[in-house]
Structure 1
């Protein structure tokens, strides 16, 4: 599911399929010359550069369900008025004069709307370090929703990242990662795309919705429920509408308990002899002694023998008919 949402290339590859570059090892120079060169390299690696947006590839794992939304327009307007206040981070690509995004996808999208260059920190990081930097920076600036983190975790695991890297990227414990993964694995494909990030909706609520998947078709009900909402309905309200519709459907589909079929047995004169109740679990014959005291007494004395006689008769008829 996460791959369909993020639609990103596998780790260790650029959009063109080339592997991530390995930082070249610098030749060591003696004395103060070597130290000066190392210092200059460190300053350059952490300096802020002005880069053309079309030189930056939007690859890697994404941790947002929605990138092109109204918030991008608002951010673009802010940058138009006040300039870019916070740089993005990129790393060199295998192709000359090209870079791969580490974090700052929303800022890059906004600047592409505004026009001009983007301020970026260029760092030579491997895939693990890039992922950790991306996760930690985004958690600090705009905390992803529970379901976005869940999808991000699933994507990282399927891409082969180690548990420790995933935990560091999102600042979660091992149990925290497990809690997210358990929920996302229960949700059917396509449901999260319909609802969206749903900020403010936590693990318990998503877990309750996931539990309904064994009772009703969540995706079909979600499509019907969301079709009745305005297009600009906030994602969290979409979740509530879907959960309410799925819960109602699950309750209505629940079969009422079978209380059994009861019939009155009358004699030839129409007087009641008793009642016969049949359900899925038992057959019950009830004779009220108050209405038929003598018959009730006789039946009490002969009930066991009569039942055995009926059983023998059934067995004989079963045997003769086989």
Structure 2
């Protein structure tokens, strides 16, 4: 999981960490480049060895699962090569204790290995802590669409301001809205049954969400997944659930000859246009009436945007290969 090699962590009897000196709470901006610079500066000046028993794991979840196999693989790598990337913690309200900001998987792995954890100690307020957590994970872990959507829901439920949510994930207001529209239609238990499904994007999750008004997604998913091997990938689990739900609505896992149509809406719920698909083509139509300026902008930038989306799809496909 790590890429920058540090020295082998010292033995456990060297793990005691002094309380951090008071410092002003740090505010992270929305710039990813600025975050990289900030993290480099912090890393160079503030790495400490801390006993994991003094670190509390709390805060919002940014990943769907911390699987045992993945943690054991990471623990084995740390046994061989040492901890390669520090975690970040902030002082707790309790004396001599810390709260994890990011690096929950590394912390879990080091607890299996034993000994201290290398950690960046910073005094952060709740907003800055959340932004650091979200942006660091975006840089290193590339969360899937549905993981980001769940993280957004948790942040909204916790009453974080829209600007903080956008900065945490590097999204625009429209990007946050796109995630929220999908997550509001899907049972959380269904999502956790499927898993992160890296490579399954907004359109595919949106297609599944669109079936929620026609069939019981959770019941069908539980039945469909019960017959799959335990090690089935989350991408295949998604496809199995989608096919089963589609069969329940149309009698076949394939789209009918007439295809399907999805209404596009903006963040206020006003219609933008439609996405129509059939076995032969996919068409995006923007309603010029009421969206004249956007339609002109899209007409001018469509080629570049589609090329960027195609490259993103290629990158995600290679990561899944």
TM-score by length of 1: 0.64
Matches within 5 A, 1:158-307: 158-252=157-251
Question: 1:44 and 1:184, CA in 2 relative to 1: closer, same or farther beyond 3 A?
Answer: closer
Cα shift at 1:23: 5.8
TM-score by length of 2: 0.64
Q: Is 1:110 matched up with 2:109?
A: yes
RMSD of equivalent CA atoms? 2.1
Contact 1:191 1:218 in 2 (8 A): yes
Number of the residue aligned with 2:93: 94
CA distance in 1, matches of 2:51, 2:234: 33
Number of the residue aligned with 1:149: 148
Question: 1:189 and 1:63, CA in 2 relative to 1: closer, same or farther beyond 3 A?
Answer: closer
Runs of 4 or more consecutive aligned structure 1 residues displaced over 2 Å after TM superposition:
21-24, 42-46
Cα shift at 1:72: 1.3
CA distance in 2, matches of 1:192, 1:180: 13
Q: Deviations over 1:141-192 (max 9, x none)?
A: 1111100100000110111111111111100011000000000001124111
CA distance in 1, matches of 2:187, 2:90: 35
Query: Who wins on radius of gyration, i.e. which is larger?
Result: 1
Contact 2:43 2:120 in 1 (8 A): no
Q: Deviations over 1:215-257 (max 9, x none)?
A: 111001100100000111111110000001100111139xxxx
CA distance in 1, matches of 2:43, 2:84: 20
My pick for the range that moved more, 54-63 or 44-53, is 44-53
Corresponding residue SS for 2:222:
helix
CA distance in 1, matches of 2:134, 2:87: 13
CA distance in 1, matches of 2:43, 2:200: 42
Cα shift at 1:57: 0.5
Corresponding residue SS for 2:251:
helix
Q: Is 1:84 matched up with 2:83?
A: yes
Corresponding residue SS for 1:136:
helix
CA distance in 2, matches of 1:136, 1:157: 17
Number of the residue aligned with 2:259: none
CA distance in 2, matches of 1:65, 1:188: 14
Structure 2: runs of 5+ lacking an equivalent: 1-21, 26-40, 253-321
CA distance in 2, matches of 1:129, 1:147: 23
CA distance in 2, matches of 1:209, 1:89: 37
